[in-house]
Structure 1
């Protein structure tokens, strides 16, 4: 979730893009593709309640626990019915036109709706116009990193021997979830205490003398262009460095306890790489002046054989830990709207494409990957990977094309994008939405990513109609009235709820 921000500064609308080719076609069932994609990387995503039914996942094996197992919940998000009646453009227009004109949505309301099974465009209102997307940007970032790195890729954090005896260089690979120990913020994350144990074993009789941190894999500014001034202190963003622990949270245990109440906002440290290095030095038993760390670069490995008991040569790898696979990082990024993970994922796209690990490199590489996937690159212009930047632009129709592509079977690895999408009235940033009588039709049948900045509100995802037809939709607004956040969100939810409620024929 994006933070509350200072008053919105209006930005001019981009010029209209050239005509678009016919919409992409979906040729496979979304749920089936997702299961295949996850199986291909050796992972199973099992979720409670209605999500399990939508994914087609079986209940996980019970673990030893003091609590009795919960009964199986009824399936709510069923798979799409290929034989369900298809909505018509006329029917969808009749259902949505009055809702799109709601005052709470402001003057720029851009909408795209398409049928998932056929790829047919069913409704558009400024659908090809690049619009400020806020956190909906994470859908593009997720698809790009899944395509560029693959769902199974894991980000390494290494320790190597420094130039002087006993010096250990901690080399950041860009894992934002790295933990100090078992009390980290992200469950299952790689841990520095495990890395320290490897280093002590590799050093043998050589005592560690100091720690240097190498976070040079990322370059350029640590805060994004177009970010509001309070991002460094507001709790939803952080300095983006190649080495950090717990998403740069100052107190991960406290952040874990209060995550739900604070929408995952937490105080962040100003220099994440040095903070991680100090924690690592303590794990190696260093104290006092020896525990102070500096930035530097790891020496190149010599490649020579090491004699038994000899001091490791400079550049010798002393240990390595690896992050959760990218499929899980994308899942967390989308379900929790984690801005720090998003920026780390954009840099992974950059590195995979041979570009600098920076805001500029990540944006350029994401644009490149989406173009290679056949998506209209002229309808997206990014400055970051999280959507915190007010200079980001994405068209609604690119988003519905992207969602369609992620499920059409031509790129099975992209189907992992669906695992983290919040469910209306159930999970993530949609858990407290679709509660009013005018929107409750969307509860349990809308699955979407939201985006929020002041005067910017967006939502994009999937909805199942009353006839069982699966549609993809995107609604982006970037000039909403001030002080109308609740009314704007309800107006957005009414649009997807109308699709859930109707056959639209």
Structure 2
């Protein structure tokens, strides 16, 4: 009797798979139609059926309509970095801005003073209400006396007294020189040949919003002298800086008067024949014809500068414009209701914020880390007016208030972090976005309170770097 011929390797594998399938089905009360699997004739490599059909009898078992999604177990912790004593009383949160998943949370619902992280809220409100293309006009109106004109402030704190083409801290700012030249040209066109424009009085009108609440009582008393903010008036030049080319230049005590005096100088340079020009404060005539006007850069540019350089005056000016646009009169007090209302319209809960000002200088402002993370998530997902807000954030190691931050071992996140800094007495904060080492985007909001200083700032940056290393594998333990 001839020896048995061994089956080809492929055939042996097929039989093994079928045997396992039969055992499994029989154990479950099922049966097979084997005839459909094995062709007539000798079993060989080339005779295997490509798609074996398995028929499992109904055993009465409950089978889920859909298979459950596997649960991801995250394993990377930043607990050690978050427990750094330099962080003082720490609160913070990290979320996936697209799914809403909370990856890390420490007292994230607690209300804390945000410092300049508040500017994220103000910027979002300005873009949502005013729109990125809106501009603010400064005008000169004629009166029934050709020797008297009215300079009307339109709430543009970037208006510059420097010569056109000479840069101030505000790129693309309108200038008093241009406004004065237009004023003289228009006035001259209405005069007989040979007669010169002679303006002897300039009335300055800053009544777009009240001037009585131009400096919040909760702000540091030396904020102006230290160059942090000007008085919030609807008419001023260069943010009322003594030096228009220095961001933290000392601010004055009467920005409206300074603007009037500088306009008189610009009129003289443009050809005004009046030897002595009086500056008075008053209201513009209701129907006074416009002799000339100039416009600010668009809101998108103003928000960008405010965010990059943490410009407090711009923040307050934008907040007042939001109030005006919402019919609340532009008062400082109105911000407490107007700003939360606007942000609530974006889908955020109003209980996560208390507003005292638009800049974050006041310690009376309150936000929760969770609230800021939700707002950042809206920014990340938005394709409307809020879309430009993310690009307005300072970039670590590149520009704005983060250009010299994240040093030493934290340089690894240069170009990877876009965030708003914050610093007032007793508070250090940082909130924005970090692209993880795994290229996944995350939103974060970190706040440290108590005895804080440079070591606190470094500790926050180190925590952000730890989040970067974990990426989407960040775990909340």
Fold match by TM threshold 0.5 = yes
Q: Which residue of 2 aligns with 1:305?
A: none
Contact 2:448 2:456 in 1 (8 A): no
Contact 1:346 1:363 in 2 (8 A): no
Ranges in structure 1 where 5+ consecutive residues have no aligned partner: 1-85, 256-263, 302-314
Q: Which residue of 1 aligns with 2:404?
A: 432
Ranges in structure 2 where 5+ consecutive residues have no aligned partner: 1-69, 192-196
Structure 1 residues 275-290: aligned runs within 5 Å: 275-285=258-268, 290=276
Q: Which residue of 1 aligns with 2:466?
A: 498
Cα separation, partners in 2 of 1:287 and 1:269, compared to 1, 3 Å: farther
- 1:71-97, CA deviations, whole angstroms, 9 ceiling, x for partnerless residues? xxxxxxxxxxxxxxx996854xx5222
C-alpha distance in 2 between matches for 1:319 and 1:291: 19
Q: Which residue of 1 aligns with 2:83?
A: 101
Shift of 1:288: 8.5
Q: Which residue of 2 aligns with 1:58?
A: none
Which stretch shifts more, 360-369 or 341-350?
Answer: 360-369
Identify the match of residue 186 of structure 1 among 151, 170, 195: 170
Contact 1:278 1:291 in 2 (8 A): no
Identify the match of residue 229 of structure 2 among 210, 222, 237: 237
- 1:33-75, CA deviations, whole angstroms, 9 ceiling, x for partnerless residues? xxxxxxxxxxxxxxxxxxxxxxxxxxxxxxxxxxxxxxxxxxx
Which stretch shifts more, 220-229 or 387-396?
Answer: 220-229
Structure 1 residues 355-434: aligned runs within 5 Å: 355-409=328-382, 412-434=384-406
Cα separation, partners in 2 of 1:287 and 1:385, compared to 1, 3 Å: farther
Q: Which residue of 1 aligns with 2:140?
A: 159
Structure 1 residues 8-27: aligned runs within 5 Å: none
Q: Secondary structure at the match of 1:335?
A: helix
Contact 2:199 2:274 in 1 (8 A): no
Higher relative contact order (CA 8 A, sep 6+): 1
Q: Secondary structure at the match of 2:118?
A: helix
Shift of 1:376: 1.4
Q: Which residue of 2 aligns with 1:221?
A: 213
Shift of 1:225: 3.4
Contact 1:89 1:123 in 2 (8 A): no
Cα separation, partners in 2 of 1:140 and 1:380, compared to 1, 3 Å: same
Contact 2:98 2:380 in 1 (8 A): no
Contact 1:225 1:383 in 2 (8 A): no
Q: Which residue of 1 aligns with 2:243?
A: 251
C-alpha distance in 1 between matches for 2:151 and 2:302: 22
Q: Secondary structure at the match of 1:281?
A: helix
C-alpha distance in 2 between matches for 1:376 and 1:129: 14
Q: TM-score, normalization: structure 1? A: 0.74
**Which has the higher Rg, Structure 1 or Structure 2?**
2
Shift of 1:185: 3.2
Structure 1 residues 256-275: aligned runs within 5 Å: 264-275=247-258
Shift of 1:287: 8.5
Shift of 1:478: 2.3
Cα separation, partners in 2 of 1:270 and 1:158, compared to 1, 3 Å: same
Q: Secondary structure at the match of 1:118?
A: coil
Structure 1 residues 463-502: aligned runs within 5 Å: 463-479=434-450, 481=451, 484-502=452-470
Shift of 1:156: 0.7
Q: Secondary structure at the match of 1:498?
A: helix
1:170 aligns with 2:154: no
Shift of 1:317: 0.9
Shift of 1:361: 2.3
Q: Which residue of 2 aligns with 1:64?
A: none
- 1:142-198, CA deviations, whole angstroms, 9 ceiling, x for partnerless residues? 000000100000011111113533211000010010012323332211111111122
- 1:370-398, CA deviations, whole angstroms, 9 ceiling, x for partnerless residues? 01111111111111111110111111111
Q: Secondary structure at the match of 1:231?
A: coil
1:298 aligns with 2:284: yes
Quote the RMSD (CA, aligned, Å). 2.0
Query: How many residues of Structure 1 are paired with residues of Structure 2 in the alignment?
Result: 390
Shift of 1:421: 1.1
Identify the match of residue 299 of structure 2 among 326, 332, 335: 326
Contact 2:201 2:280 in 1 (8 A): no
Q: Which residue of 2 aligns with 1:200?
A: 184
C-alpha distance in 2 between matches for 1:400 and 1:90: 20
Contact 2:199 2:277 in 1 (8 A): no
C-alpha distance in 1 between matches for 2:422 and 2:207: 31
Cα separation, partners in 2 of 1:488 and 1:367, compared to 1, 3 Å: same
Cα separation, partners in 2 of 1:478 and 1:289, compared to 1, 3 Å: farther
Cα separation, partners in 2 of 1:225 and 1:375, compared to 1, 3 Å: farther
